[in-house]
C-alpha cells in the first residue's frame, strides 16, 4: 500500500513538472537583457529615385521607369515609446527597410507592434526562438499574433538563444529577416520587411552592435513588382532605390566595415552583389561578389583602406540595365 501511495505521489509530481514545462513561454527563456521596440506598419508614398536622375551615369532615369518611380507602399516605422508619436531616427541608407532589431545572445526581444494600415498584418522573425503565439505567421493552427487587424496591436516576445547567434565559423554578428506573414508574398512586395542582427555573447556594445566592427550597413537586393509584371513597375532596387539613388554608404579609411546582405523576392531575384574597389571576407574566403537567392542572409567584412567612390551593384546583366546599382564612398 505504501508503494502504491508513493507511485501515485510520484506520478502527480511528474504531471506537475510536465505542466510547468508546457506552460513555459518565450518570456521565461531569455537569460540576458531585455530589448524593447515600438514598431508600426504605415502606408507611405515611396520614391525609388527621389532625385529623378540616374546618378550612376548622369541624366534622367531611363524609360520605362522615368516618371514611374513613386508608388504606394507599406513600411515598418520605429517609434521611441508606447505612444507611437515620435519617430526614432534611422540611418538614411536603410531606405525602405524597417528598423534594425538587435540583440546579444541571451537577450529577450519585445516588439510592440501597431497596425496603422487597412489590412491584416504581422511580424514574423527568422532565426530567433518563439512560441506559437509569437510566430507572427498565419496558417493553421494560427497563433495569437498571426493576424493583427487594422488598428490593432500585438506584443511579440522572441529570444535570441545560442542557436540564434553566430555559429562557430561566423563573424561576431549575423543577420536574419523579419517580415509580415499574413499574405506573405503580398506583404513583402508591399515593403514590410527588415533586418534582425544578433551579436555573439560578450561581443555586443550597449546598443547590441558588435564591439569588433567600426561601421555596419544592411542592403537588400530585390525586384519590387509594382505593376503585375509590367516592366515600368519592376523596380530593380537596393534598399528600395534605383540608379544610384541609395544615399549614405559612406565610411572612413581604415575602418572595419560589416555588410549584411539580404535577398528576397521571386524567381527573378537571383542576385550577385559586387563591390568595386575592395574585396570582402565571406565564409573564410576572399571575394568581391557574393551570391543571393530569395530569402538569403549573408554577412561579410571589409577593411575600407582604398579611398574613393566605388560602384556597388548586382552583376546580373538585366538587373544592371534596370538600375540595381549604388555607390559607396571611402573617405
Phi and psi at residue 3, to the nearest 5°: -65, -35
Q: Give yes or no for a contact between 111 and 128, defined as CB atoms under 8 angstroms apart.
A: no
Q: Which sign does the torsion angle of CA 205, 75, 316, 330 carry?
A: negative
Residue from 105, 110, 91 nearest 248 by CA = 91
Which is the catalytic residue, given 314, 322, 327, 330? 314
Quote the CA–CA distance of 296 and 243 in Å, as a whole number. 23
Burial 307-316 (b: 16+ CB within 10 A, else e): eeebebbbeb
- Do strands 308-314 and 273-275 pair parallel, antiparallel, or not at all (unpaired)? antiparallel
Q: Which three cell numbers stand for residue 258?
A: 560589416
DSSP 8-class letter at 98: P
Q: How many residues does the chain have?
A: 331
Q: Could you give phi then psi for residue 234, rounded to 5 degrees?
A: -90, 100
* Strand stretches in 10-90, DSSP E: 34-47, 70-79
Closest by CA to 158, choosing from 210, 101, 78, is 101
For the chain, give percent helix, strand, coil, nearest 5: 15, 40, 45
Q: What is the spatial distance between Cα 147 and Cα 142, in angstroms, rounded to a whole number?
A: 8
Say how far apart CA 272 and CA 254 lie, in whole Å. 25
- Element of type H or E holding 15: helix 2-23
24 counts as catalytic: no
**Cβ neighbours, 10 Å, residue 76:** 25
Report which secondary-structure segment, H or E, holds 7: helix 2-23
Catalytic residue ranges = 314
Amino acid at each position: 500500500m505504501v508503494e502504491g501511495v508513493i507511485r501515485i505521489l510520484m506520478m502527480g509530481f511528474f504531471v506537475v513538472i510536465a505542466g510547468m514545462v508546457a506552460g513555459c513561454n518565450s518570456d521565461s527563456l531569455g537569460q540576458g537583457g531585455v530589448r524593447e521596440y515600438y514598431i508600426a506598419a504605415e502606408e507611405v508614398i515611396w520614391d525609388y529615385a527621389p532625385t529623378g536622375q540616374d546618378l550612376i551615369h548622369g541624366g534622367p532615369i531611363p524609360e520605362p521607369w522615368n516618371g514611374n518611380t513613386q508608388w504606394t507602399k507599406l513600411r515598418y516605422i520605429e517609434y521611441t515609446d508606447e505612444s507611437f508619436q515620435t519617430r526614432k531616427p534611422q540611418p538614411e541608407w536603410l531606405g525602405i527597410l524597417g528598423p534594425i532589431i538587435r540583440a546579444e545572445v541571451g537577450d529577450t526581444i519585445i516588439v510592440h507592434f501597431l497596425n496603422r494600415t487597412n489590412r491584416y498584418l504581422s511580424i514574423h522573425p527568422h532565426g530567433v526562438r518563439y512560441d506559437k503565439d509569437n510566430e507572427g505567421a498565419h496558417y493553421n493552427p494560427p497563433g495569437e499574433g498571426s493576424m493583427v487587424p487594422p488598428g490593432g496591436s500585438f506584443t511579440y516576445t522572441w529570444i535570441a538563444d545560442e542557436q540564434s547567434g553566430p555559429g562557430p565559423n561566423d563573424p561576431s554578428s549575423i543577420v536574419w529577416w523579419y517580415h509580415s506573414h499574413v499574405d506573405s508574398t503580398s506583404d513583402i512586395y508591399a515593403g514590410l520587411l527588415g533586418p534582425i542582427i544578433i551579436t555573439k555573447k560578450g561581443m555586443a556594445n550597449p546598443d547590441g552592435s558588435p564591439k569588433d566592427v567600426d561601421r555596419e550597413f544592411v542592403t537588400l537586393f530585390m525586384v519590387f513588382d509594382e505593376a503585375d509584371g509590367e516592366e515600368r513597375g519592376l523596380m530593380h532596387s537596393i534598399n528600395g532605390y534605383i540608379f544610384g539613388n541609395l544615399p549614405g554608404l559612406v565610411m572612413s579609411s581604415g575602418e572595419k566595415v560589416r555588410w549584411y546582405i539580404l535577398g528576397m523576392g521571386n524567381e527573378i531575384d537571383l542576385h550577385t552583389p559586387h563591390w568595386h574597389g575592395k574585396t570582402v571576407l565571406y565564409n573564410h574566403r576572399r571575394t568581391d561578389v557574393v551570391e543571393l537567392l530569395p530569402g538569403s542572409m549573408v554577412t561579410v567584412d571589409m577593411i575600407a583602406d582604398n579611398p574613393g567612390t566605388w560602384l556597388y551593384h548586382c552583376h546580373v546583366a538585366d538587373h544592371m540595365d534596370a538600375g540595381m546599382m549604388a555607390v559607396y564612398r571611402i573617405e
